[in-house]
C-alpha cells in the first residue's frame, strides 16, 4: 500500500498536524485569555490612578 518513504512522510504530516492542533488549543484556552485578562487589569489600574491624580489636583 505505502512505500516506506511515503509512510514516513505520512507520519511526519500527522505529527505536524497534531502538534498544530494542540498548539491552537493551548493558545485559545490559556495564552490568549491570560493576555486579555492582564491587559484589562492593567487598564483598570491606569484608570484608578488617573482618577486618583484628578482628585488630588482638584
The answer on pLDDT for 58 being more than 80 is no
**In the chain, % of residues over pLDDT 70:** 100
**CA nearest to 22, candidates 12, 34, 30:** 30
Q: Say if residues 35 and 26 touch (Cβ distance below 8 Å).
A: no
Q: What backbone torsions phi and psi does residue 57 show, to the nearest 5 degrees?
A: -75, -25
Give the DSSP H or E segment for 31. Answer: none
Model confidence at 45, in pLDDT bands (50, 70, 90)? very high
Q: Say if residues 2 and 10 touch (Cβ distance below 8 Å).
A: yes
Amino acid at each position: 500500500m505505502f512505500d516506506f518513504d511515503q509512510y514516513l512522510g505520512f507520519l511526519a504530516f500527522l505529527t505536524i498536524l497534531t502538534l498544530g492542533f494542540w498548539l491552537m488549543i493551548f493558545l485559545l484556552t490559556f495564552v490568549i485569555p491570560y493576555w486579555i485578562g492582564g491587559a484589562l487589569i492593567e487598564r483598570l489600574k491606569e484608570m484608578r490612578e488617573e482618577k486618583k491624580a484628578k482628585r488630588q489636583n482638584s
